[in-house]
């Protein structure tokens, strides 16, 4: 078990699929965001509490998605999330959607923590430290 990698499982429902019989391409970004939320919760944080307490939100500034193979109705997917780096307001992640031991979709994302006015602000210190611990445990693998 890799401490630097968070795994979240989702089932593919009708709502996720399209008339081509596969998961609609935008919905992998929904799966990825669910996985990031669950990773935050597993670390003791949540977006709603962070916004209420410090007015800070973490938003996606950039993402890149490789669609390798399609997921289908009733598949159980695993979203593997790895924090690549964290620095100031910036966070780099890799997220891989897997099914049956195979990579279906690979995402790389740059996230930024922003104030209510949308300006970049440093990540809350406790979250920054918790994320940084993940990065370092990943590096020493």
Q: Which of 2, 18, 66, 129 is catalytic?
A: 18
* Max CA pair span of the chain: 45
Q: Is 16 a catalytic residue?
A: no
- The minimum distance between CB 137 and its own copies, in angstroms, equals 25
Q: Report the interface residues with its own copies, using CB under 8 A.
A: 11, 13-15, 17-22, 24-27, 29-30, 33-34, 37-38, 41, 46-49, 51, 57, 59-67, 69-70, 72-74, 118
**Chain centroid to CA 80:** 8
Question: Closer to its own copies at the Cβ: 64 or 141?
Answer: 64
Distance in Å, CB of 63 to its own copies, minimum: 5
Q: How far is the CB of 32 from its own copies (least distance, A)?
A: 9
In the complex with its own copies, the residue whose CB is nearer, 30 or 138, is 30
Name the residue among 60, 63, 62, 41 with its Cα closest to residue 50: 41
Ordered DSSP codes for 65-108: EEE-S---TT-EEEEEEEEEEEETTEEEEEEEEEETTEEEEEEE
Residue closer to its own copies, measured from CB, 76 or 136: 76
CA distance 136 to 110: 18
**Are the C-beta atoms of 124 and 40 separated by less than 8 Å?**
no
| Enzyme catalytic residues | 18
């Amino acid at each position: 078990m890799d401490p630097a990698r968070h795994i979240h499982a989702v089932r593919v429902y009708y709502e996720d699929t399209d008339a081509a019989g596969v998961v609609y391409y935008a919905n992998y970004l929904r799966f990825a965001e669910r996985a990031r939320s669950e990773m935050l919760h597993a670390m003791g944080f949540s977006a709603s509490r962070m916004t209420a307490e410090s007015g800070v939100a973490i938003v996606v500034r950039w993402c890149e998605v490789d669609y390798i193979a399609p997921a289908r109705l009733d598949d159980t997917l695993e979203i593997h999330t790895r924090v690549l780096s964290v620095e100031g307001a910036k966070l780099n992640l890799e997220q891989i959607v897997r099914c049956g031991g195979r990579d279906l979709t690979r995402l790389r994302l740059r996230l930024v923590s922003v104030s209510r006015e949308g300006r970049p602000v440093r990540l809350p210190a406790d979250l920054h430290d918790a994320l940084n611990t993940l990065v370092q445990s990943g590096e020493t693998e």
